[in-house]
Amino acid sequence: MKILIAGGGTGGHFFSGVAVGEAFLTRNSTNEVVYVGTRNGIEARVGPKEGLDVRFITVSGIKGKGLISRLMALIKLPVALLQSLILVARERPLVVIGVGGYASGPVLLAARLLGRTTGIVEQNSVAGATNKILGRLVHKVFVAFPPAAREFPAHKVEITGNPVREGVVQLLTLESTGTVGLGHRCKLLVVGGSQGAHALNVAMVQAVSGMDEAMRGRLFITHQTGTTDEQLVTEGYAAAGVEATVLPFIDKMAEAYRFADLAVCRAGAMTVSELSISRRGAILVPYPQAIYDHQTTNAKMLVDAGAAELIVQDDLLADGLREAIVRLAGSGRALQQMAWNAGELARPEAAAEVVDTMYRLTGVP
């Protein structure tokens, strides 16, 4: 069969879609997968590099934008729907799945108008505006976290966890929790998302600068900064005398998780899911401007399970990070318990479950 996977914009949406696409190919290598996004999203930069068949429509977001931006987005909607109708009619997919992001709305609407079997994936614990609307139109809704299920028609919902790419799952599920918290050094992984996070970058430099020499000597930090802050963070750690590997982007995140004792990161949906699959505890700093504050709700899934601590981003962020890192880095037992608790939430078969359900809906053996 041919499958259309629509959405993206951010790594969380796009890589979730790639995981589902890979699972369709694993199910049957003769399947064809086409991805649909926008030229401004991560799918335009990463998709072609990975050899994916990516198509583009012209659409932008409305929620959380200024008046002019909202008006421009509304003007683009009829164009995006027409582009989507043409695309779906030309490609003739049997299944169309939305994974969140601007492109998913018009493509899923076009797919329903043309009689295709449809589904959506909601990665966050709080459903996005586009998915809330689409949930009433599509045949099936796959949610990562139980709180999001309440926002969709109950008979359509399946709780699967977040789809994570098979190669990542295989590496993350290899047993490595026995090494967490052992040895003289504490290995920190700091990730602010695919673009980095300036507030977190600055706060980490300030946090380690305020530690005593013995603690700074115990740390080894791997830090994804984004392109803008790479030099700032590199120089900050060097001045503090902390050994660190600073990168604008980490290509092999699964290996980075496995190397770490503890993560310091945002609370995007895919990050939370990868932490649970990799069995790693975390200090989570939710992005405060996230729509519906969904990152805080995501974070609480791990916090409530005893797998993470939550620190609010404010003027005292550096102090909070310093205190938490010093306390946790000094307790191997605490790090091991957080890692174990994180693993209890893991759903590594999510992508395969999505594919199995869509096969049942289509009636294809």
pLDDT tens for 266-280 read: 999 999 999 999 999
Query: pLDDT tier at 91 (50, 70, 90 boundaries)?
Result: very high
What does the pLDDT look like over 284-303, one tens digit per residue? 999 998 878 999 999 999 99
pLDDT of residue 59: 84
Token pair belonging to 225: 């900064």
Q: Please check the confidence at residue 180 and state whether its pLDDT lies above 90.
A: no
Q: By mean pLDDT, which of 13-17, 83-87, 306-310 is the weakest?
A: 13-17
pLDDT of residue 66: 65
pLDDT of residue 75: 77
What does the pLDDT look like over 132-161, one tens digit per residue? 999 999 999 999 999 999 999 999 999 999
pLDDT of residue 119: 98
Q: How many whole angstroms separate alpha carbon 272 and alpha carbon 256?
A: 15
pLDDT of residue 63: 60
pLDDT of residue 365: 87
pLDDT of residue 302: 97
pLDDT of residue 120: 98
Query: pLDDT tier at 244 (50, 70, 90 boundaries)?
Result: very high
103-138 residues labelled b (16+ CB within 10 A) or e (exposed) = bbbbbbbbbbeeebbbbbbbbbbbbbebbeebbeeb
pLDDT of residue 338: 95
List domains and CATH numbers for the chain. Answer: 2-164+348-362 (3.40.50.2000), 170-343 (3.40.50.2000)
Q: Please check the confidence at residue 176 and state whether its pLDDT lies above 80.
A: no
pLDDT of residue 144: 95
pLDDT of residue 62: 63
Mean pLDDT on 217-229: 95
Per the CB < 8 A criterion, the answer to whether 159 and 141 are in contact is: no
pLDDT of residue 355: 98
Mean pLDDT on 165-194: 80
Q: What is the mean pLDDT of the chain?
A: 92
Cα-to-chain-centroid distance, residue 255: 16
